[in-house]
Amino acid sequence: MNSPRVDELHLQRQIDELAAISEAPPPVVTRILFSEADLQGRAFVKKIATELGLSWRQDAIGNMFARWQVSDSKLPAVATGSHIDAIPNAGRYDGVVGVLGALEAMRALKESGFQPKRSIELIIFTAEEPTRFGIGCLGSRMLGGALSARQAEQLRDQEGNSLAHWRSKGGLQQQDLASVPLKKGHYAAFIELHIEQGPLLEKENIPIGVVEKIAAPSSLRVEVRGIGGHAGAVLMPDRHDALLAGAEIALAVEHAALTSGSPDTVATTGVFRIEPGAVNSVPCRARLEIDLRDTQLSTRDGALKKIEDSVREICAHRDVGFRIEHVNVDAPAICDPQLIDLVSRACAELGLPMKKMISRAYHDSLFMAQICPTTMIFIPCRGGVSHRRE
């Protein structure tokens, strides 16, 4: 066996080609679950995988599996993977590095004459990003058993379209969602390659991060129901303005994070929509989507409670109705010490400086960790920038 050689130029070309498959004009990358661009992106990856001689399967939620099968091995496979969906106005590396990088790694290993002891499987997870249904890691969440088929069937997008509607766009309507979860031990290990999405590796000039823990994410939807009316005719004392209650809620979200007692609590009101959205009409409805995370469950849950209490108080004070929906409230993932050690030793052998890290972003690894030993490999990203076109 020769030593495997990754072809960086070839990999970069593939990353650039995939980036051009976008709902928005380049350099922006937008690929939302089962959009035309997402379907084309999936076909792009499938073509590379089949050219490499990998077998291909897609499950009922659209997770895709490209497998380097070792025919005489009964051992569970080693898996890797990430996602190719992209939030609106994203860049080209989030998720994609872990998918095309894995394919390039398999190409290099095959070319070197390497004979794996176990099958190696690349997983391209469905909708790691929450854009379509408001919930992140849809594919891995179902694989790991954290979202049941029944719960998934209740999902609706902003226009009220069901998961079934979008699954039929993906040609998956005949498959049974209940068949998606994998048993514990299905894989021997899972390792996800991803950009850091933070500034530390670049700042410290360290090429590799090994992830020890993934922060606990949660998200909420808050709907505020006020009373609309004519902007000229409804006098100020008579108003029940949904936007103003929403604005106070967004400030309370910030306050809950700032006063949680942990510097790791972060909270974002990333969606704020009002109705009817006319300059001369008092807003009657506000819909907020709130993302709250922490490395520690106790402070995350404390902040979550503070936000809920604030919604109640603010809406009572302004005499408007409200509804709170918990979209997801997830625990953190602790990565596997043996795998962390393995990656650290590989770095030492290759003479690559490395750093053990916490992932503040969530990843499909959060849910893979529920079924097999898991860790992640981070690489630097310029300026720590992610979820932006740059």
Contacting positions for ligand GLV (CB under 6 A): 129, 136, 361-362
State the residue for tokens 């409804």. Answer: 234
Rounded CA gap, 180 and 92, in Å?
28
Q: How does DSSP classify residue 156?
A: B
Q: Name 285's bridge partners.
A: 225, 275
Cis bond before residue 263 (omega within 30° of 0): no
How many whole angstroms separate alpha carbon 232 and alpha carbon 235? 8
352-387 core/surface letters (b: 16 or more CB in 10 A; e: else) = eebbebbbbbbbbbbbbbbbbbbbbbbbbbeeebbe
Closest-approach residue to ligand GLV (CB): 361
How many residues touch Mn ion under the rule CB under 5 A: the total is 2
Cβ within 8 Å of residue 377, ≥6 positions away: 191, 192, 193, 194, 208, 209, 210, 211, 343
Residue 362, contacted partner among ligand GLV, Mn ion, none, CB below 5-8 A by kind: ligand GLV
Name the minimum Å distance from CB 133 to Mn ion: 15
- 94 part of the interface to Mn ion, by CB under 5 A: yes
Query: Which of ligand GLV, Mn ion, none binds 332 (CB below 5-8 Å, type-dependent)?
Result: none
Nearer to ligand GLV, 55 or 158 (CB): 158
Output the smallest distance, CB 111 to ligand GLV, in A. 32
- Stretch of 16-24, 68-76, 88-96, 271-279 contacting Mn ion, by CB under 5 A: 88-96
**Which residue is at the shortest CB distance from Mn ion?**
95
Q: Least distance (Å) from ligand GLV to the CB of residue 307? A: 18
> Of 134 and 226, which CB lies nearer to ligand GLV in the complex structure?
134
Residue burial 99-118, b: 16+ Cβ < 10 Å; e: rest: bbbbbbbbbbbbeeeeebeb
Cβ contacts of residue 251 below 8 Å, gap of 6+?
none
Q: Do the beta carbons of residue 136 and residue 330 sit within 8 Å?
A: no
Contact map string, positions 95 to 134, toward Mn ion, x by CB under 5 A: x---------------------------------------
Q: Which two tokens stand for residue 271?
A: 């969606």
Q: Which is nearer to Mn ion, 95 or 144 (CB)?
A: 95
Residue 85 interaction partner, one of ligand GLV, Mn ion, none, beta carbon < 5-8 Å per kind: none
Round to whole Å and give the CA distance between 334 and 331.
10
Q: How far is the CB of 360 from ligand GLV (least distance, A)?
A: 8
Residue type, 52: L
Q: In terms of CB distance, is 46 or 387 closer to ligand GLV? A: 387
The nearest distance, CB 217 to ligand GLV, in angstroms, is 7
User: Looking at beta carbons only, is 129 or 330 nearer to ligand GLV?
Assistant: 129
Query: In angstroms, what is the minimal distance from the CB of 362 to ligand GLV?
Result: 4
Q: Which residues bind Mn ion (CB under 5 A)?
A: 94-95
